[in-house]
Amino acid sequence: MRAGFVVSKAVGNAVTRNLVKRRLRHLMRDRLDLLPAGSLVVVRALPGAGEADHGQLARDLDTALQRLLGGAPRCSGPPGDAPRNPGRGPGGSAQ
């Protein structure tokens, strides 16, 4: 299993980007066993990731992995009923 991390300059300065990258790398380390062997995963941090705390990054990463693995639908009701990113502030933190 291999994971790559892409943190845009929109996330913040170099210190903030490296902090986000380290947090995401640490969070993914605990979740590698959820992925099929030989998987290649790219985690892209969105602009809101620079202001998100460790817990929020973990929740967003878990949601993204559930979607990836088919465990959680994007929206529970009919189209247009629910917000696209429930529980996430503007910009989100991880994709």
Instruction: State pTM to two decimals.
Output: 0.68
- Cα torsion 48, 53, 57, 58 to 10°: value is -170
In this prediction, residue 25 carries a pLDDT of: 92
Q: Tokens for 87?
A: 């529980």
Please give the domain boundaries of the chain with CATH numbers for all domains: 2-68 (3.30.230.10)
Give the count of beta carbons closer than 10 Å to the beta carbon of residue 20: 25
Residue type, 3: A
Alpha helices, H only, the chain: 14-29, 54-68
Give, for all 95 residues of the chain, the pLDDT tens digit: 566 788 989 999 999 999 999 999 999 999 988 888 888 888 888 899 999 999 999 999 999 999 989 876 555 544 444 444 444 444 555 55
